[in-house]
């Protein structure tokens, strides 16, 4: 009997990949079948995603992957970064651009929303006393004020993973995990909070059906290979961090750190209890919630490396890690500083923050790596606070391959364990299996 296979489309905020998960008995074996980049672009001065480029690269990757498959997959599902979304018009076409969460035009939306809905009411509705500036809610509030015509033309809102499902099968369905993170969902009713949105004068007509662990259709778009036609499309765990959490086998009181472009730090939480301050409620499934902090991750190093590559001074990853280990630079900075959100020159921005902090200023790539890792590890330790000494920290994601960073974490965390590097894809496939079983 041949092992059953499932396809996970895993879209991070810097690249995408197609993972094949093969299930045999109780084991899932993962293979990266394709990887492709996707980029942001400036449209009339606004930072947007090149979605058509992403989709083109995904379809091309599938044609290469499917030419090598020896069996028809049992199912397919996508997970992606949260918050960003597309608006579809009545003909099912994307209207407007897909704006990136790194576009800072929504910076003052939390204050505007807080002026209408007091902190205690927000806490009861979305699980926290303030709205995230990059949240779907903040982005929609901005559009309601600045581009109401765009919202009037929209008939459907889909987050990125939901949009890929729509491309595959033609059915527009919102994934529950992405909805739970959007701050549009009432954590008590676990449905769209239309009452709150009405108070904020944000339209709701484009919010549709929400699904979790459900088959929502079959691949029926001719742009995708023949091998995929008819394969069930699953709305499983659409939020990449939620998928990574699902992949982890850990104690309920353990802390979980997903290290990617962002670092998502959190733990399991019961919705009957108030969520801790400064955390974001995030649902995995309707019966499984977590409390998370969105913190800086590998973005800082990634942006430095891109800068050095353009200058022709990046020594390669192995030599870079060795230089980080060898550096004794004592610099430290606040990695959550707003200046680091989307700077034109990341190394210069870090130097400025170190100087402002009266700490040693990094000079060489090795120095920068050292101070970035130290600053990130200290940031994560401070976020956990009193739970630091009594709880295990499980780390997943591509960041576990950053040996110098893992060393910095081991200095601060008494009990640390590596989870799966491919945790997002593994959780994605686990959710697919649950949906089709």
Q: In CATH, what number is assigned to the domain containing residue 106?
A: 3.30.420.40
Q: In this model, does residue 387 exceed pLDDT 60?
A: no
Domain membership of residue 271 (yes or no) is no
Q: Which residue has the higher pLDDT, 332 or 254?
A: 332
Same domain, 12 and 145: yes
Same domain, 311 and 364: yes
- Number of domains, the chain: 2
Domain membership of residue 282 (yes or no) is no
Same domain, 321 and 405: yes
Which residue spans within 136-240 are E strands per DSSP?
A: 156-159, 174-175, 185-186, 191-192, 210-211, 214-218, 232-235
What is the distance between the alpha carbons of residues 305 and 294, in angstroms, rounded to a whole number?
A: 22
Domain membership of residue 305 (yes or no) is yes
Q: In this model, does residue 271 exceed pLDDT 90?
A: no
Same domain, 151 and 191: yes
The pLDDT tens digits of the residues spanning 73-116 come to 999 999 999 999 999 999 999 999 999 999 989 999 999 999 99
Same domain, 431 and 404: no
Q: In this model, does residue 245 exceed pLDDT 60?
A: yes
Q: In this model, does residue 293 exceed pLDDT 90?
A: no
Q: What is the pTM of this model?
A: 0.88
Torsion region of 96: left, alpha or beta (phi above 0 gives left; psi -120 to 50 gives alpha): left
Domain membership of residue 291 (yes or no) is no
Which residue segment(s) compose the domain that 305 sits in? 299-418
Token pair belonging to 155: 């008939």
Same domain, 339 and 428: no
Q: What percent of the chain has pLDDT over 90?
A: 80
Q: What is the mean pLDDT of residues 232-237?
A: 98
Element holding 362 (H helix, E strand): none
Half-sphere exposure in the Cβ direction for 425 (13 Å, CA): 28
Half-sphere exposure in the Cβ direction for 272 (13 Å, CA): 1
**pLDDT recorded at residue 415:** 87
What is the distance between the alpha carbons of residues 34 and 20, in angstroms, rounded to a whole number?
A: 9
Same domain, 95 and 205: yes
Domain membership of residue 247 (yes or no) is no
Same domain, 74 and 202: yes
**pLDDT recorded at residue 390:** 62
Q: Which residue has the higher pLDDT, 386 or 379?
A: 379
Domain membership of residue 286 (yes or no) is no
Give residue 196's pLDDT band: very low, low, confident or very high (50, 70, 90): very high
What is the distance between the alpha carbons of residues 411 and 404, in angstroms, rounded to a whole number?
A: 11
**pLDDT recorded at residue 386:** 62
Q: Write the DSSP symbol of residue 239.
A: B
Same domain, 17 and 107: yes
The pLDDT tens digits of the residues spanning 12-52 come to 877 899 999 998 777 899 999 999 988 899 999 999 999 99
Q: What is the mean pLDDT of residues 120-132?
A: 93
**pLDDT recorded at residue 248:** 87
The candidate with the shortest Cα–Cα distance to 241, out of 292, 191, 279, 278, is 292
Same domain, 80 and 221: yes
Same domain, 37 and 168: yes
Domain membership of residue 117 (yes or no) is yes
Same domain, 69 and 171: yes
């Amino acid at each position: 009997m041949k092992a059953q296979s499932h396809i996970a489309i895993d879209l991070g905020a810097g690249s995408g990949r197609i993972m094949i998960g093969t299930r045999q008995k109780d084991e899932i074996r993962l293979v990266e079948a394709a990887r492709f980049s996707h980029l942001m672009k400036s449209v009339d001065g606004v930072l947007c995603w090149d979605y058509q480029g992403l989709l083109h690269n995904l379809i091309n990757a599938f044609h290469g992957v499917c030419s090598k498959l020896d069996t028809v997959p049992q199912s397919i599902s996508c997970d992606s970064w949260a918050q960003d979304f597309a608006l579809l018009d009545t003909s099912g076409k994307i209207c407007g651009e897909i704006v990136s969460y790194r576009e800072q035009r929504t910076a003052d939306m939390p204050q505007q929303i807080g002026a209408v809905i007091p902190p205690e009411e927000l806490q009861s509705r979305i699980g926290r006393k303030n709205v995230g500036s990059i949240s779907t809610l903040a982005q929609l509030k901005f559009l309601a004020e600045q581009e109401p015509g765009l919202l009037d033309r929209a008939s459907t809102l889909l987050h990125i993973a939901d949009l890929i499902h729509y491309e595959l099968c033609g059915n527009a369905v919102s994934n529950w995990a992405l909805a739970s993170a959007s701050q549009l969902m009432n954590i008590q009713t676990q449905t769209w909070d239309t009452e709150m949105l009405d108070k904020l004068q944000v339209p709701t007509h484009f919010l549709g059906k929400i699904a979790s662990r459900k088959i929502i259709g079959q691949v029926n778009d001719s742009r995708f290979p023949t091998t995929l036609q008819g394969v069930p499309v699953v709305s499983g765990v659409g939020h990449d961090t939620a998928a990574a959490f699902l992949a982890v086998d850990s104690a309920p009181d353990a802390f979980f750190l997903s290290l990617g472009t962002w670092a998502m730090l959190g733990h399991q939480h019961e919705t009957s209890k108030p969520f801790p301050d400064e955390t974001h409620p995030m649902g995995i499934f309707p019966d499984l919630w977590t409390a998370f902090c969105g913190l800086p991750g590998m973005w800082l190093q990634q942006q430095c490396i891109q800068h050095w590559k353009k200058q022709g001074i990046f020594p390669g990853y192995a030599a870079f890690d060795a230089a980080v280990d060898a550096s004794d630079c004592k610099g430290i900075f606040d990695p959550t500083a707003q200046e680091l959100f989307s700077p034109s020159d990341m190394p210069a921005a870090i130097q400025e923050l170190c100087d402002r902090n009266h700490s040693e200023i990094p000079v060489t790539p090795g120095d920068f790596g050292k101070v970035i890792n130290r600053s990130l590890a200290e940031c994560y330790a401070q976020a956990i606070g009193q739970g630091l000494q009594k709880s295990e920290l499980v780390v997943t994601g591509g960041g576990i391959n950053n040996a110098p960073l893992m060393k910095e974490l081991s200095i601060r965390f008494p009990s640390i364990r590596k989870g799966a590097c491919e945790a997002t894809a593994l959780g994605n496939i686990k959710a697919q299996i649950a949906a089709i079983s």
